[in-house]
Amino acid sequence: MHRNKIVSREDWFQAHKAHLAREKELTRFRERIAAERRELPWLKIRKDYVFETEQGPNRLTDLFGTNSQLIVYHFMFGPGCTHHCEGCSFLADHIDGANQHLRHHDVSLVVVSRAPLAELLPYK
């Protein structure tokens, strides 16, 4: 097991200040990258994709529901997969709470996958 060095309060404080400066630099960099992402051009989707849902087939435009914004999360699970993505499964376990919050902000959230619906439902 790795053991951290034990130092005086002053040495700890100096190391902490240096680390905090790097964390702030990283935060500012992430904010710049996020601003760039928000300014990316959009792509008009011309194809009317159809998705298999528990309520039957739904077009892409139907997935918005009553909201003007749509987040599409790709659940990494292909046809015939026998192993699920742990990160995707973790997110799926917490979508209900996020959905309520997003609906209050005019956002619909859907999860899509290449696997047939019947193969996905056991993970719901």
Burial of 77 (0-12, 13-18, 19+ CB in 10 A): buried
Q: Tell me the C-alpha distance between 104 and 98, whole Å.
A: 10
User: Residue 56 in contact with residue 73, Cβ under 8 Å?
Assistant: no
Size of the chain in residues: 124
Strands (DSSP E) found in 11-104? 50-53, 56-59, 69-74
User: Residue 70 in contact with residue 108, Cβ under 8 Å?
Assistant: yes
Q: pLDDT tens string for the chain (124 positions)?
A: 889 999 999 999 999 999 999 999 999 999 999 999 999 999 998 998 999 999 999 999 999 999 999 999 888 888 887 777 788 888 878 888 888 899 999 999 998 999 999 888 887 7
Residue with tokens 């630099």: 25
pTM of the model: 0.67
Cα 117 to Cα 47, 64, 87, 111: the distances in Å are: 21, 19, 19, 11
Q: How far, rounded to the nearest angstrom, does the alpha carbon of residue 25 sit from its chain's CA centroid?
A: 24
